[in-house]
A = this chain, B = another copy of it.
Amino acid sequence: MIRIAVIGAGQWGPNLIRNFHSRDASEVVWVVDQSPARLEQARARFPDLRVAEDVAPVLADAGVDAVVVATPTSTHYALVRAALEHDKHVLVEKPITDDVVQAEELCALAAARGRVLMVGHVFLYNPAVTWVKHLIEAGDLGRIYYVSMVRTNLGPIRLDVDAGWDLASHDISIVNHWLAAAPERASATGGSWINPGVNDAVFATLRYPGGVLVHLQVSWLNPRKVRQITIVGERRMLTFDDMSLDEPLRLYDKQVTDERTLAPWTDTFASFRASVREGDITIPRVAMGEPLKIECGHFLDCIRGGQVPLSGGAEGLAVVRTLAAIQRSIVNAAREEAV
């Protein structure tokens, strides 16, 4: 039985409490929040857990195996650091920090202490994302040319982070996972209309090893909620629409054929040197599964040994590095920045 303390019972925290509390392998023993009202709500639903407004007694409790941090990003560094220094395993909500150096430090600390440090990039535990990962690894798409990702909705509009840090972090974690790589360079533009200095929309292009291009478009000022990803591969193409409950994935058996197989073609325009092959489209049946539940189970598996987190500190750091490079590029008139 792994004993868990959850820090932060605001928006996402209650989901984590419920998940860890309903499993056989874990129990939530502490909930920490600055708000007494929230602590009361937590106790009303789960009468057997202890609550605190401060983390000190929790970290001092030798009965606590792991700490789950679901507080605002700006507080992550101090809380995660303290938990690791008390030899707790840590699951921290994404992004791990809002600062590259601090993220590096936390990774080093977790390694030094031999503790699990995992980041809540929950999309990596979405069965459809896993299905695509296997497809890419099996080579079914062939060499990847580019990935286009669109993530938009109308609100909520945040003040503490811009749309890039809020929304693009999901896409970066997904595509890093799929490509098993991190971007080398990033260029981006941002637009700020509602709150001065806070980007409401960000358009970014990431360059990965091997010439793979990833384009991100995120906005919280869009009339439609869109969660659309297109992967263009040499052999096949794929779309992932995360707004479609029953048909999120489509595998296109289409490709651009090699020009050498084409008969010569003379024309006034003389402009085409490749052709396309059309084919069937498959909408695969992907088994359902609640990503958060899978994520929490994975965290427990990692603690008990034998598994390295899919979204460990290193993966979380790669996302932060990319977001920071996007931010620098926006400031520097879209100039490409090293990640």
Residues of A within 8 A of B (CB): 8, 10-11, 33-35, 71-72, 145-146, 148, 154-161, 185, 187, 189, 191, 193-195, 200-201, 203, 205, 211, 213, 215, 217, 219, 221-225, 230, 232, 234, 237-239, 246-247, 250, 252-254, 256, 259, 267-276, 278-285, 329, 333-336
The interface residues of chain B lying within 8 Å CB-to-CB of A11 are 269
For the complex of A and B, the 6 pairs showing the least CB-CB separation, nearest first, are A187-B334, A223-B252, A223-B237, A281-B283, A155-B276, A189-B205
The interface residues of chain B lying within 8 Å CB-to-CB of A246 are 225
A156-B272, A256-B155, A269-B11 known; A280 and B282 CB under 8 Å?
A: yes
The interface residues of chain B lying within 8 Å CB-to-CB of A276 are 154-157
When chains A and B are docked, how far (Å) is the Cα of A154 from the Cα of B274? 11
When chains A and B are docked, how far (Å) is the Cα of A222 from the Cα of B200? 27
Sample 18 A-B pairs with CB under 8 A, ordered by A number.
A145-B200, A146-B191, A146-B219, A148-B201, A156-B276, A157-B273, A157-B275, A158-B269, A159-B270, A187-B187, A194-B259, A195-B274, A201-B213, A215-B217, A223-B239, A282-B282, A283-B283, A329-B334
When chains A and B are docked, how far (Å) is the Cα of A329 from the Cα of B159? 31
A111 to chain B, nearest CB (A): 31
A190 to chain B, nearest CB (A): 9
The chain B residue sitting closest to A237, CB to CB, is B223
The interface residues of chain B lying within 8 Å CB-to-CB of A201 are 145-146, 148, 213, 215, 232
**A268 touching B335 by the CB < 8 A rule?**
no
**A273 touching B159 by the CB < 8 A rule?**
yes
**B269 touching A10 by the CB < 8 A rule?**
yes
A145-B200, A146-B191, A237-B222 known; A271 and B213 CB under 8 Å?
A: no
When chains A and B are docked, how far (Å) is the Cα of A269 from the Cα of B148? 31
A103 to chain B, nearest CB (A): 21
The interface residues of chain B lying within 8 Å CB-to-CB of A8 are 268
Q: Which of B10, B191, B281, B335 contacts A247 (CB 8 A)?
A: B281
When chains A and B are docked, how far (Å) is the Cα of A247 from the Cα of B221? 19
A145-B221, A211-B193, A223-B230 known; A280 and B284 CB under 8 Å?
A: yes
